[in-house]
Structure 1
Amino acid sequence: MLKTFVANGELPGSITVKEYDGRYFPASIPDIASQWKLMQSFEADSNDVIICSYPKSGFHWIWEVVTMLFNNTSNISKELPAKYILEFGAVSKVQQSPPPRVLGSHLYYEELPVSIRQKKCRLINVIRDPRAVAVSSFHFFTKIKEAKLKGTWSGYLNLFLDGKVMFNDWFHHAQLWESVRQSNSDNPIHVLYYEDAKKNPFYEFKRLARFLQLDVKESTIMAIAEKTKFSEMKAPKEAAIGHNFGNAFAGNKYPLYRKGQEDDWKSYFTLQQNAEFEQIYKERMQYNKVQLKSIVNPGNNDTGCVEDTRYGSKL
């Protein structure tokens, strides 16, 4: 069922999603009920790896890294990572592929195919600063034709904070995954922080290889870190992708890459918006073990937000 959400108060903003069982999906996905049923029938292999993240948290990037680690190469894949997202119809495409398969999902743990949970497949939980997620998703969803995203950045931020966007609330997603990590000690789950991987990719990719029990030379990991830099990966990857998935997007082109920066959010958040966001984060995440240092204890040089208040405020 299509549902359109409107930002609160006088903030201009609205977005259209497709609701199924309380979850919000891109409006362009056809027959979600059938796809959901097909996804649940997926027969996982114990060697499969699933990258689990909220949208716009770095799935495509980490998929490339994990694929390279498995193949013991620094060559960029010609595949489109989105093809391997379970809820987007990946099941029919990869069921016959030989394991280990590198898959992805933006769903909650309990929503993953039963076989993935039963076989205790390795899961990689990617977490990114929600301010960066909000800005990245604002630009991405603007390009989805059927999302009909209208209004300003401030209107979208209001919708994001209320969880009235595709794949629902970021905070709820983070809290549920932390609960899973605490209550499923027998299911191997690796937490990867997007910002940490940006700052020190060699170290984080080495940790990934260790978690995946892969014997990859440090020289290869170093090459992977270099080849998966945004500036290195953007052109060849876009050339390989071409116009796949383009029909659903403005300009008939899949908008996979924009900037790939960890602090681009500072160009959009006003100082007031950032202060409000930090307060909301501290209130909603106060009982979580996972605490993003850039929010709960920012350094003196960490707040580089735009000075003016042309976008207004949520509160």
Structure 2
Amino acid sequence: MAFTKIPDLGGATMTMIDVDDPTFIHPRFHNDGPATKEIFQKVPDFQFRDDDVMLCTFAKTGTHWMYELISMAQYKSADRIKPSKVQTMLEAQTAEDIDKVPSPRVVNAHYCYRYLPVKGLREKQIKTVLCVRNPKDTAVSYYNHMCGIKFYEYNGKWEDWLPVYLDGKLEYGKYTSWLKEWDVAIRDGIGFPLHVIYYEDLKANCAAEFKKLLKFLDIELSDELQTQIIENCGFDQMAPTKYPPPIKQLFFKDEFNIFRKGETGDWQNWFTVAQNEMFDQKWSSEMKDHNVFDFKYTLPAKM
């Protein structure tokens, strides 16, 4: 197993990791190929603690935001959370390293459902939060993510990247396949406590969605503390503070911030009419028999 170069339609390549699974390309983190493969193979046997919360997201669908909200709720504090989500990320760390993180923990992953430690989730009845985002804004955010992180070694064009993304030839595979696995699991009976939250609903009314989340987590917070947490997890507060300069220099290209815009509807500034038609046709065809998820692609203008 080794690093692999995935070309876009224009010939620019993205560096990722081959984990000897024909349906899955693993993302790059700080580990080499063999270490990543070992992490990947051991994920199904991950051992949860009783007070863990599991956060499941596809890449670029609100993971940082949800991680901060849940963590602050667990600590009952509006202070900035010191651990990064990467420290408890199943595809980025060994189980031994994750075990070093003190409770309460938000274990998180972008893995599709079939690669998750479902046995442990069911045995421990781990409260699990599934955050999803409309696929067009997800695609735009993902493209900028891949252009801005050094490990990918990528500088291709949006129009050359989008078709490759839609075909699922990048890390984590197709977003449609990721959603369909959850759709089937939910309809069949998930077997552990699950709360589904939409990125767009968080953007539209974070206070209301946060109250629903707290009820699911069985956490009581004062209205004042809820407001403070929401404010401190806001995009403008998180973007400049989460990653210190040494981390930025190591992982990110100049001028790149992993918190790019955090908007709903930004896809309209990227998609051409033809790209939008292509996207809609492919998406509706692949999702026609799966209707658990209902996305919003724009939000009403604020008065």
Relative to the length of structure 1, the TM-score reads 0.84
1:26 is displaced (CA, Å) by: 2.4
SS in 1 for 2:207: helix
Aligned 8 A contact 1:12 1:154 in 2: no
Is 1:105 equivalent to 2:99 in the alignment?
Answer: no
* 2:18 counterpart residue number: 19
Long gaps (5+) in structure 1: 303-315
Cα distance in 1 between the residues matched to 2:153 and 2:295 = 34
Question: 1:153: which partner in 2?
Answer: 158
User: More displaced, 50-59 or 12-21?
Assistant: 12-21
Q: Does 1:228 align with 2:229?
A: no
Corresponding residue number in structure 1 for 2:247:
244
Contact 1:12/1:150 (<8 A) preserved? no
Correspondences of 1:166-245 after superposition (within 5 Å): 166-238=171-243, 241-244=244-247
SS of residue matched to 1:15: strand
1:244 counterpart SS class: helix
Q: Secondary structure at the match of 1:237?
A: coil
> Deviation at 1:98?
4.2
Deviation at 1:12, TM superposition (A): 5.4
Once the two structures are superposed, residues 123-161 of structure 1 have per-residue CA deviations (whole angstroms, 9 ceiling, x without a partner) of 111101111111111111112334232421011111110
With the length of structure 2 as denominator, give the TM-score of the two structures: 0.87
In structure 2, what is the Cα distance between the partners aligned to 1:129 and 1:26? Answer: 21
Cα contact 1:4–1:14 (8 A) shared by 2? yes
1:94 and 1:109 map into 2 onto residues whose CA distance is 20
Q: How many angstroms apart in 2 are the aligned matches of 1:123 and 1:246? A: 33
Q: Partners of 1:157 and 1:89 in 2: how far apart?
A: 29
1:92-116 Cα offsets, whole Å, 9 max, x none, are 3331444331111011223123423
Is the Cα–Cα contact under 8 Å of residues 147 and 156 in structure 2 kept in the other structure?
no
Give a deviation string over 1:178-212, Cα, whole Å, max 9, x none: 11222234311111100110110001111110111
Unaligned 5+ runs, structure 2: none
Residues 26-65 of structure 1 mapped to structure 2, 5 A cutoff: 26-28=27-29, 29-30=31-32, 31=34, 32-65=36-69
Distance 1:37 1:281, change over 3 A: closer
| Number of the residue aligned with 1:287 | 289
% same residue: 26
CA contact (8 A) 2:7 2:14 kept: yes
1:234 partner amino acid = A
The structural deviation recorded for 1:249 is 3.7
- CA RMSD after TM alignment: 2.5
